[in-house]
Amino acid sequence: MLNRVEVPDFSNLEDAKKIITAINLLTEPMSGGVSGPVGYFYDEEISPKGSLGKIDIKIKDGETISVEVNKYNMWDEDQPQGNQQLRNVLCEEKSEQIISNSYASYSATEKISDNTFRYSSLYVDYLIPFVSRYYLEKLGKNSIDWFDSETNEKLVITDDLDDFWSFS
């Protein structure tokens, strides 16, 4: 999480899903992009099912922030204080070093070593699309494989698609 959020030692799957969902909901755009998780937070029409309750997230300075796992307009000041606070931590642009030479629409400003790159100004972008692109890059692929959820057969997508993700 770009050295901003401590990745917890998850004690159960539900807590892992809530933290991933909370961070994704704070950084996903209001329109476009890749929505998710479908079936967990969103229904099949990509409409929010409602709050999943609260989860505590520890940031790198040691502070613990209580976040409501729910969808709000990204810059809405009416959302809970903890959500606003974590959003500000995630969206603060600052210098970072990571193991990828590209991140979202950013390109590294300096190569530190074979696998470390510096960015002069970076913020946490949409979580799941970045992880997906990083994973694909490591596999040497340039697109996601889509499968029919009923038959498990690989699909050939020729039209634009409303992208979404889900927990398997």
Q: Are residues 59 and 139 in the same domain?
A: yes
| Contact (Cβ atoms closer than 8 angstroms) between residue 151 and residue 47 | no
State how far the Cα of 120 lies from the Cα of 155, in Å rounded to an integer.
40
Residues 6+ apart with CB under 8 A from 47: none
Q: 144-156 pLDDT, tens per residue?
A: 666 665 676 776 6
As a whole number of Å, the CA-based R_g of the chain is 17
Percent of residues, the chain, with pLDDT higher than 90: 20
Q: Are residues 64 and 109 in the same domain?
A: no
pLDDT of residue 44: 77
Q: How far is CA 104 from CA 24, 30, 65, 71, 155, in A?
A: 14, 17, 26, 22, 26
Domain span at residue 100? 93-121
Q: Are residues 48 and 83 in the same domain?
A: yes
Please work out, in degrees rounded to the nearest 5, the angle formed at the alpha carbon of residue 27 by the alpha carbons of 162 and 119: 110
Tokens of 43: 């229904």
pLDDT of residue 159: 45
Q: Are residues 86 and 165 in the same domain?
A: yes
Q: Are residues 101 and 160 in the same domain?
A: no
Lowest mean pLDDT of 78-87, 95-104, 110-119, 155-164, name the range. Answer: 155-164
- Residue 130 pLDDT grade (very low, low, confident, very high; cuts 50, 70, 90): low
pTM for the predicted model, two decimal places: 0.72
Q: Compute how many other C-beta atoms are within 10 angstroms of the C-beta atom of residue 66.
A: 14
For residue 19, the surrounding DSSP H or E stretch is helix 13-27
